[in-house]
Each structure stands twice: as C-alpha cells, then as structure tokens.
Amino acid sequence: MELVCPAGSLPAFQQAVDHGADAVFIGFKDNTNARHFAGLNFDDRKARKALEYARSKGVKLYVAINTYAQEANWQRWQDAVNKAVDFGADALIAADVSVMDYASEHHPNLNIHLSVQGSATNYAALEFYVDRFNIKRAVLPRVLSLKQVQQVAASKKVDVEVFGFGSLCIMAEGRCYLSSYMTGESPNTQGVCSPAKFVEWRQEGDVLESRLNDVLIDRYQPDEKAGYPTLCKGRFETEGKTYHTLEEPTSLNTLNILPELNKAGVKAIKIEGRQRSPAYVAKVVSIWRQAIDRMKANPEQFETDEQWMKELAGFSEGSQTTLGAYSRPWQ
C-alpha cells in the first residue's frame, strides 16, 4: 500500500519525502491543477529540484493536471503534459478526457492516474478509461461506502487509490458547480473552490458573518469558532430549520478502516492538502507512515494510536474528523 502525499511548495515536498511518503504529488503554477491558489505550486526550476530530491530518496513524483481544459486555452494543458513528461514525472494525474487522450497518444509510456476529479465511481466507468487511455490507477471519489470501494477494488479493472485524510469534499468530485454558481470560479475550470478573493467577514454587532461573493454562508455567535466559508459547510435554512444543511466543518480520517482498505486490495492512500503548510505535511505524513507500517506488520491486530487520532483531529476543520461516505450512516 503506497502512501501518496501532497506538496504545494518545495519545503512541503521535502517534508513529505523526509517523513515517509512513497510518492508526492504536485501541480504547476496555473489553472491546470485543482489547487490553483496564490503562492502555491511549482515552476520549472522548483519542479526539477523536487524531482531531484525525490530521486535521491527513492520516492516517486506525480504531477496533477486535473482540471478541465478550456477550448480557448487548450494548449496550456497540452504544454503542462509535455512539461511533466520532459522533466520525468512518474505519473500524470488527470481528469479531462482530452488531456488523457493527448497524453496516451503522444506519450504512450506515461503512467496515467485517473484523478478523483474524473468522477469515476464504478468499475464499468473505470473500464472505459482503461480501454481508451490505458490508465494505470484510479483515485476514487469520496462518495463511496467501504463496501462499494471493496467492490470496485475486487473487480480488478485497475489499481485503486483512495483518500485517507484531509479536507472532505462531500460531493462527487468533478461534478460540483456550487462554487461557480456563487462566484463564477469552480474546481473544474479554475482549480479553486470558494476562492479567497470572494470571502468577506462582516461584524454585525456581536455576530460575525462570513460571506462568499456577498452570499451569507454562516453567522457566528461570540462563543463560536468561525471557519473558512467553504460554501458546502455553511449553515442555511431548510424547512424552517437552520443547520449545516450539507455538511459540518469536518475533515476525513480513515485510519480506523486502514486494515479493511488494505484487505480490499486498495493500492494507495492519498493525503489531501497541497494548500497546507510544510509543518502540517510533515506531521500528517509521519502519522500515516507509522500507521501503514504498523498495519502491514500485523494487519489482524491493527489498532490506531490515541495520540495519532488526537493530533489528526487537531489538524482538522472544526477540530473533528469523520469517515464520511465510507460509513453508511454518514450518508
């Protein structure tokens, strides 16, 4: 079971490598990747440095080119694929059919991983990508229950990677336009969700309001901890009741079901968070490395460490974690 870790900067990359990543994924400095945030990601020079570092430690480097290419700028996605190949990335993580079509035609030896943004949730969909683009791995959306993950993995159409820890998208990734509905910018086209430039904090008496492009996402009383206004985690009113209509601020943590994922034949665990700090990456990667090693040593007797869970919760949105869709009651 491979541990795949995020890096939005060279220091984070080095931390991931040093703390036990088997592979680290990065993106270039434009909207060809799904974490297109100011100050993040890799230019040519830094990407080469990252690769050198990875090679020196026997770690793999993957490049995420996993937004959807717009017709007017299609060349940008093509250039990004060529760049990833030229500098020697071990795999391309892609969502757009055109990007995979181009990559498989022009670089037949390149490993293509279907990004979570590709939204393939069942083995028949995966077969389409295997037949057409010879993908080598698929990252499954965070909408499947553990049983459904087991079924997809058991079909053995392609190697399966699942999310282990980090921010929780509660919608099928690649099929969510909530952000562009409110702001005009979405993960699919711009590589952003609830972008910071649309965020506004407004103090109204005792109450702190968070807004996204002027839409009220949440109101916080003085004793409540305010969170970033990711629009699916706001409090809205439905049927006269005000509550976290879609989801509470929380993060995904699947440490507790690691042996089941391993037994299902899941080939890789992904840690989310290219937007996170090097310190965050170091700590989270280190805990997951220890956990996977402990699980591999004795899968039947695996137990999580209370300290790990506590530390991971401390890194989580709203200081709480969930198994998300892996657990049927959550759904």
Partner 1 sequence: MKISLAPISYFWEKQAVFEFYEAAAESDADIIYLGETVCSKRRQLRLDDWFEIAAQLQDKGKEVVLSTLALIEAESELHALKQLCHKSVDQGYLVEANDMAAIKFLSDAKHYFVAGNALNIYNARSLKVIAEAGAIRWQPPLELSGDGLEDIVSGYRALENEDDQTIETEILGYGHMTLAYSARCYTARAYDFPKDQCKFICLDHPQGMKTKSQDGLEIFTLNGIQTQSGKCQNLLNQWQDTRERGVDIIRITPEDSNCLDIVQQLSNAIKADKSDVLPITEQHCNGYWNRISGMEIAEV
**Which residues fall in the annotated binding site for [4Fe-4S] cluster?**
169, 176, 193, 232
Interface with partner 1, residue 121, by CB under 8 A:
yes
Q: Are 257 and 263 a contacting pair, CB within 8 Å?
A: no
Residue 102 interacts with partner 1 (CB under 8 A)? yes
- Residue for token digits 């840690």? 271
Residues numbered 122-181 forming contacts with partner 1, rule: CB under 8 A: 122-125, 127-129, 131-132, 142-145, 148, 151, 170-172, 174-178, 180-181
Beta-bridge partner residues of 322: 252
Query: Could you tell me the smallest distance in angstroms from the CB atom of residue 320 to partner 1?
Result: 17
Does residue 5 belong to the site contacting partner 1 (CB under 8 A)? no
Instruction: Report the 10 Å Cβ neighbour count for 225.
Output: 8
Query: Judged by CB, which is closer to partner 1: 9, or 230?
Result: 230
Which residues, 6+ apart, have CB-to-CB distance to 80 below 8 Å?
28, 30, 32, 63, 65
| Number of other residues whose CB lies within 10 A of the CB of residue 66 | 29
Compute how many other C-beta atoms are within 10 angstroms of the C-beta atom of residue 297.
9
* Alpha-helix runs per DSSP H in 226-272: 258-263
- Smallest separation (angstroms) from partner 1 to the CB of 245: 5
Report whether 36 contacts 67 (CB < 8 A). yes
- CA-based torsion, 233, 237, 243, 247: positive or negative: negative
Q: Does 331 participate in binding partner 1 (rule CB under 8 A)?
A: yes
Q: Which residues are annotated as a binding site?
A: 169, 176, 193, 232
Q: How far is the CB of 311 from partner 1 (least distance, A)?
A: 27
Q: Which 273-312 positions form the footprint of partner 1 (CB under 8 A)? A: none
CB of 45 to partner 1, least distance (A): 29
Decide: 269 and 261 in contact? Cβ < 8 Å.
yes
Choose, by CB under 8 A, the member of 48, 49, 136, 235 that binds partner 1.
Answer: 235
Size of the site for partner 1 (CB under 8 A): 69
Between residues 177 and 201, which has the closer beta carbon with respect to partner 1? 177
**Residues between 241 and 260 that touch partner 1 (CB under 8 A):** 241-242, 245-247
Q: What CA–CA distance (Å, rounded) separates 34 from 220?
A: 29
CA–CA separation, 220 and 208 (whole Å): 5
Residue 201 sits in the site that holds partner 1 (CB under 8 A): no
Residue (14 or 186) nearer to partner 1, CB: 186
Closest approach, Cβ 223 to partner 1, in A, equals: 17
Q: Which of 82, 134, 189, 277 binds partner 1 (CB under 8 A)?
A: 189
Q: Which one of 87, 220, 228, 236 is in contact with partner 1 (CB under 8 A)? A: 236
**By C-alpha distance, which of 158, 178, 166, 191 is closest to 245?**
178
When the beta carbons of 73 and 298 are compared against partner 1, the nearer one is 73
For residue 21, CA distances in Å to 60, 262, 290, 293 come to: 9, 17, 11, 12
Find where tokens 């984070």 sit.
12
Count of CB atoms situated within 10 Å of the CB of 138 = 27
Place of tokens 């507790």: 256
Helix (H, G, I), strand (E, B) or coil at 6: strand
Residue of 45, 56, 71, 310 that binds partner 1 (CB under 8 A): 71
**List of residues contacting partner 1 (CB under 8 A):** 68-72, 74, 95-98, 101-102, 119-125, 127-129, 131-132, 142-145, 148, 151, 170-172, 174-178, 180-184, 186, 188-189, 213, 215-219, 232, 234-239, 241-242, 245-247, 325, 328-331
